[in-house]
Amino acid sequence: MKLTLKIWRQAGPDAKGAMVDYPIDGISEDMSFLEMLDVLNDKLIREGQDPVAFDHDCREGICGMCSLYINGRPHGPERHITTCQLHMRKFKDGDTIYVEPWRSAAFPVIKDLAVDRGAFDRIQAAGGFVSVNTMGNLVDANALPVPKAHSDKAFDAAACIGCGACVAACPNGSAMLFVSAKVSQYALLPQGRPEAKERALNMVEQMDAEGFGNCTNIGACSIECPKDISLENIARLNREYLVAEMTKES
């Protein structure tokens, strides 16, 4: 396959960026999108140019490290997969492909296509946990049965890989889907209930402090989410938050 790539190049956080054209040839259908970029980088290095920086690690859709806005969509045109799982057979010979970084005030660009998603870690540190220390003498794991329906729903929420596509997809740059997934996982499990209120309040507070936008129920986040995290979680977060706000002891 022969393609024209239009890629966002930006030397550093404060540098001005621009789209740059790269024609590329000899791409096989079996390649993943990132392998196609490997081929481009190999060529650029040989030509004495600076290779394109992009984040990636597992290359199997689970670590959440890869990103990329491809032809105007986070993780590209296919639903329910990450960029590293996108294969070139989804494109046609002669296509022009636009590749940009996640765009959000809360995710500053580090270089080219790599952005800083540290805000997610800080939100997690604000309340995304159950306060239990490591102990050798906890109650037996089966002492407390959890209805399968609840544990399945908790799992659905826990499947979030923290990639940030939801933020990138949202016109407001809201992180509600990410935060709601974490809040929901714990809210649905008995182990998470004791701290449910503080968790919702603290995580939302941190989210706001990081400069993410407000949720106006557009739903683009869930459509573009590679793990199909449902909007139901946002509704649950709103409920949890409201109850916590109303019963807050001050």
* Residues forming the site for ligand FES (CB under 6 A): 56-59, 61-66, 82-84
Alpha-carbon span 37 to 53, nearest angstrom: 10
SS3 letters across 54-76: CCCCCCCCCCCCCCCEECCEECC
Instruction: Tell which one of 178, 186, 212, 241 touches ligand SF4 (CB under 6 A).
Output: 178
Which one of ligand FES, another protein, ligand SF4, none is in contact with 236 (Cβ closer than 5 to 8 A by kind)?
none
Which one of ligand FES, another protein, ligand SF4, none is in contact with 225 (Cβ closer than 5 to 8 A by kind)?
ligand SF4
**Straight-line distance from the first to the last Cα atom of the chain, in angstroms, rounded to the nearest whole number:** 64
Could you tell me if 67 and 99 are in contact, meaning their C-beta atoms sit under 8 angstroms apart? no
Q: How far is the CB of 196 from ligand SF4 (least distance, A)?
A: 19
Decide: is 163 part of the binding site for ligand SF4 (CB under 6 A).
Answer: yes
Which one of another protein, ligand FES, ligand SF4, none is in contact with 68 (Cβ closer than 5 to 8 A by kind)?
none
Of 150, 171, 20, the closest CA to residue 103 belongs to 171
Mark the segment that binds ligand SF4 (CB under 6 A) among 130-138, 141-149, 157-165, 204-212.
157-165
Which one of ligand FES, another protein, ligand SF4, none is in contact with 181 (Cβ closer than 5 to 8 A by kind)?
ligand SF4
Which one of ligand SF4, ligand FES, another protein, none is in contact with 229 (Cβ closer than 5 to 8 A by kind)?
ligand SF4
Alpha-carbon span 94 to 102, nearest angstrom: 25
Which one of another protein, ligand FES, ligand SF4, none is in contact with 220 (Cβ closer than 5 to 8 A by kind)?
none
Tokens 């005030």 correspond to what residue? 105
Alpha-carbon span 171 to 174, nearest angstrom: 8
Q: How far is the CB of 235 from ligand SF4 (least distance, A)?
A: 14
Alpha-carbon span 200 to 234, nearest angstrom: 11
Q: Give the chain's radius of gyration (CA, Å).
A: 20
Judged by beta carbon, residue 107 or residue 241, the one nearer another protein is: 107
Instruction: Give the per-residue contact string, 2-21, with ligand SF4 (x = CB under 6 A; - = no).
Output: --------------------
Of 117, 157, 169, 165, the closest CA to residue 237 belongs to 157
Tokens standing for residue 91: 């494109």
- Within residues 179-238, the interface with ligand SF4 by CB under 6 A covers 181, 225-227, 229
